[in-house]
Structure 1
């Protein structure tokens, strides 16, 4: 071996001895691996609890008192016994069920029909945001637009008169069902896209090979939809409709801006009833009791619907 080869060998050995091999990180213990995911979501959970759990607990506590600003008088379940005998409470609950039920049914049918006719359209795939435009408007702006169309600006009445449906201007707030119709139309216009985008996403996510096999067997589009697509969409439909139904129970903005509960309280929903008791009549404890009862009713109905729907889907 020559002198230069020996020198290269020595330099290589020296370089290898000076290279620091990075230490491998110590594996985390089983406890640390279990706790780490909770630490990641902990701040978000704490924030959600702060803005939801605390107000709810405070409302439950406040419902046990007669509250007039700073004067709190303990009544126990007195507010609940009063509210159960309150006809206005049950009327508001019935109005919420009628207006919300009709609105939810129309939204579901329209959203499913539109999704069925265009879910394979490339335009829908690429431009879904266009279908969400009504949802992007502020609820107060939508309420003002429909108030102008129905009442203040008489736009709808002028259109109906121009096509010969009616002969005179329609007073939409003079009739119970016409006043309810204004709220239903405004809610359907704004929130049908919510269900549509969920339904069309569910239809587009289904396996195309199943549809192709059904078409090869001679099945029509409607038969494929009713017998294949719709049963496969059952869990998604139930969850989407339940979420939308829960949101409808809090309908307030449209009522506050468009009808103010008229005529004769026929359009007063539960949210507006709670607002009127709390911020107009200053019965804060009574309003809190109504809120708690409404929460209980909503949870019971939503739980029952979801449980029955998923149970029937398994059978």
Structure 2
């Protein structure tokens, strides 16, 4: 019986099958084979560098000048020297750390609690998609909703009055801590689902045999979660909280829509400070210097947290 399959020599390696013209197929050179994966990735890398590296380098370059529209005056490190003596800069940095720290702590605690129940309870497990809905809204829409609830629509004040907790309408922007609380509530409501879905995925990805062994030893589910699941989730928690913390440092939409930095700059975050310097005072070089300093500080903190967390985990 005749067959067109190529014969295999004694060494076990099939010879190259010639094409219809009778010539053997051309093989790529070793250099081209090594470069081929990089050529496939090149368009995506060029795009990412264009939208990330170039703006960053341009901001660093611009921070060395006093920029007033088309008038660029060289100042070297003058903007950095001035900004380190600016009380408003340090106040904005403190507000970012305070508001972001409280918000991140609440988000982590609530997300872990929801993940604890959603992972075990069949009823809640079937409705997990509901917990993700706040994250699907546009940040500007969320800010307007909470602004309406706290300030313009007096929804929260009416609810508090209906249960007898307050006697009249509450001016949420008149108090420093009440104004900060409005930003924290809005941020927690929208971004807790981000941590929740990561924590649930981490629980589902754990080895079920370890949990079953602990259950056979008589451990309850709270004990299993606290002593086994939570330590195993530590790398995931660190990475998720770090990513969420980096994102919190760029909190702008809620501040811009809800408080505008009031009262007295108590809710002005770093992002809003940079926006105000650049697009209200038109001091673009000063705003770029603040952006560069914030970027450096964020990288240092994030790198330190992740490095210490994973280093301690190896011990």
Tell me which residue corresponds to 1:283. 283
Tell me which residue corresponds to 2:160. 160
State the Cα distance separating 1:33 from its structure 2 match.
Answer: 3.2
State the Cα distance separating 1:32 from its structure 2 match.
Answer: 2.9
Greater Cα radius of gyration, structure 1 or 2:
1
State the Cα distance separating 1:30 from its structure 2 match.
Answer: 3.9
Tell me which residue corresponds to 1:140. 140
Tell me which residue corresponds to 1:306. 306
Is residue 120–residue 204 contact of structure 1 (8 Å, CA) maintained in 2? no
Tell me which residue corresponds to 2:259. 259
Is residue 118–residue 125 contact of structure 2 (8 Å, CA) maintained in 1? no
Work out whether 1:196 is the aligned partner of 2:193: no
- 2:218 and 2:46 map into 1 onto residues whose CA distance is 55
Q: Which runs of 5+ in 2 are unaligned?
A: 5-16
Is residue 117–residue 124 contact of structure 2 (8 Å, CA) maintained in 1? no
Tell me which residue corresponds to 2:117. 117
- 2:225 and 2:31 map into 1 onto residues whose CA distance is 49
Query: In structure 2, do the counterparts of structure 1 residues 130 and 26 end up closer, same or farther at CA, with 3 Å as the change threshold?
Result: farther
- 2:239 and 2:26 map into 1 onto residues whose CA distance is 44
State the Cα distance separating 1:182 from its structure 2 match.
Answer: 0.1
Tell me which residue corresponds to 2:268. 268
State the Cα distance separating 1:140 from its structure 2 match.
Answer: 0.4
- 2:160 and 2:127 map into 1 onto residues whose CA distance is 33
- 1:105 and 1:134 map into 2 onto residues whose CA distance is 18
Q: Deviations over 1:16-59 (max 9, x none)?
A: 7xxxx655755544433332221121111111110011001000
TM-score, structure 2 as length reference: 0.91
Q: Which runs of 5+ in 1 are unaligned?
A: 1-11
- 1:212 and 1:186 map into 2 onto residues whose CA distance is 39
Q: Deviations over 1:186-236 (max 9, x none)?
A: 000000000000000110111222111101101111111111111111111
State the Cα distance separating 1:175 from its structure 2 match.
Answer: 0.5
TM-score, structure 1 as length reference: 0.91
Tell me which residue corresponds to 1:33. 33
- 1:123 and 1:39 map into 2 onto residues whose CA distance is 49
Q: Deviations over 1:140-166 (max 9, x none)?
A: 000000000000000001001111111
RMSD across aligned C-alpha pairs, in angstroms?
Answer: 1.9
State the Cα distance separating 1:76 from its structure 2 match.
Answer: 0.3
In the alignment of these two chains, the number of paired residues is 300
Query: In structure 2, do the counterparts of structure 1 residues 117 and 126 end up closer, same or farther at CA, with 3 Å as the change threshold?
Result: closer
Is residue 260–residue 268 contact of structure 1 (8 Å, CA) maintained in 2? yes
- 1:295 and 1:222 map into 2 onto residues whose CA distance is 40
- 1:212 and 1:25 map into 2 onto residues whose CA distance is 57
- 1:126 and 1:194 map into 2 onto residues whose CA distance is 18
State the Cα distance separating 1:129 from its structure 2 match.
Answer: 3.5
Query: Match of 1:119, SS?
Result: helix
Is residue 95–residue 269 contact of structure 1 (8 Å, CA) maintained in 2? yes
Structure number with higher helix proportion: 1
- 2:31 and 2:188 map into 1 onto residues whose CA distance is 50
Tell me which residue corresponds to 1:102. 102
- 1:25 and 1:262 map into 2 onto residues whose CA distance is 72
State the Cα distance separating 1:130 from its structure 2 match.
Answer: 2.9
Work out whether 1:89 is the aligned partner of 2:82: no
Tell me which residue corresponds to 1:55. 55
State the Cα distance separating 1:292 from its structure 2 match.
Answer: 0.3
